[in-house]
Amino acid sequence: MPTLIIAMDGPSGTGKSTVSKEVARRAGLPHLDTGAFYRVATLAALRAAVDLADGAAVAAAVDRSEIEYEDGRMILNGDDVTEEIRGEAVTSVVSKVAAHAEVRKQFVDEQRRWVETRGGRAVVEGRDIGSVVFPDADIKIYLDARAEVRARRRAAQTGEPAEDVLADIARRDHLDSTRETSPLQVPEGAVVIDTSDMRFEGVVERVLELIEANS
Ligand code: DC
């Protein structure tokens, strides 16, 4: 079977995770959530009580940890932390960890290998997939949405006040898109889909059409 890599990038609150999982399911492809790696690195660093601003110390804490990613579950030193890495303690500081070049370097090769061992066929979601991890991806998608819409979606999920969420989203967007290493950007050759006024199903279908047109 030919290789088929679908890179899905974009900020949080665009529906990237749900859309990419559903696209993978319907297209019969494995799904790789690269954000989970930066989240588990953050948890490993928090548990080791290292300074999150110190990239070398965070990378060393990651090195000392055993990290496994299988069937969408993240295992840290034998402990299933899939839910814990989505909690507030990790979410509020993960951008700091994801900004360290030392940490990114640890994961990029691992992500490439993960896809390679699955025959080079996968839907991969993140922030730097079409630009850095798989610049030659067969299909590159960049999901976007207005900040207010993204804040509203997250507030509806978590019950937090929308203004607080909006401030947090603006802060994270700024960190993710201005960091020196692999900033969030629209990769060259990507199809940009603004999901602000679209329904989930419409977005999934649009991506499936692009896959269909490519094959
Ligand atoms: O998609 P997410 O919210 O799970 O991502 C968590 C953090 O990791 C977020 O700050 C963006 C960052 N990230 C990244 O820098 N590169 C990736 N490929 C995926 C996520």
d(CA 41, CA 110): 13
Q: 128 with 184: CB under 8 angstroms?
A: yes
Q: 99 with 179: CB under 8 angstroms?
A: yes
The stretch 90-113 carries a mean pLDDT of 95
The stretch 144-159 carries a mean pLDDT of 91
Closest residue by Cα to atom 2, ligand 1, is 35
pLDDT at residue 172 in the model:
85
Helices (H), ranges, the chain: 16-27, 35-47, 55-63, 88-91, 94-98, 101-116, 147-158, 162-178, 200-214
pTM over 0.85: yes
Residues 153-203: tens digit of each pLDDT: 889 888 889 888 899 888 888 888 899 998 999 999 999 999 999 999 999
Q: Is 95 in the pocket of ligand 1 (CB under 6 A)?
A: yes
Going from the Cα of 108 to the center of ligand 1, the distance in angstroms, rounded, reads: 12
pLDDT at residue 162 in the model:
87
Tell me if residue 73 falls in helix, strand or coil: strand
DSSP 131: I
The stretch 80-107 carries a mean pLDDT of 95
pLDDT at residue 87 in the model:
93
Within 10 A of 203 (CB to CB), how many other CB atoms are there?
A: 23
Q: 40 with 74: CB under 8 angstroms?
A: yes
Q: 20 with 122: CB under 8 angstroms?
A: no
Q: How confident is the model at residue 1 (pLDDT cuts 50, 70, 90)?
A: confident
Q: How confident is the model at residue 47 (pLDDT cuts 50, 70, 90)?
A: very high
Which range among 29-43, 123-137, 141-155, 170-184 shows the weakest confidence by mean pLDDT? 170-184
Q: Is 22 in the pocket of ligand 1 (CB under 6 A)?
A: no
Q: What is the mean pLDDT of the chain?
A: 95
Which of 3.40.50.11810, 3.10.180.10, 3.90.1300.10, 3.40.50.300 is the CATH number of 1-30+121-197? 3.40.50.300
Going from the Cα of 4 to the center of ligand 1, the distance in angstroms, rounded, reads: 22
In this structure, whether the domain defined by 33-117 belongs to CATH 3.40.50.300 is answered with yes
Q: Is 94 in the pocket of ligand 1 (CB under 6 A)?
A: yes
Quick check: 210 pLDDT over 90?
A: yes
**Domain spans in the chain, listed from the N-terminal domain onward:** 1-30+121-197, 33-117
**Residue with the larger pLDDT of the pair 164 and 8:** 8
Quick check: 215 pLDDT over 90?
A: no
Give the percent of the chain with pLDDT over 70. 100
**Residue with the larger pLDDT of the pair 140 and 161:** 140
The stretch 135-160 carries a mean pLDDT of 93
Going from the Cα of 172 to the center of ligand 1, the distance in angstroms, rounded, reads: 10
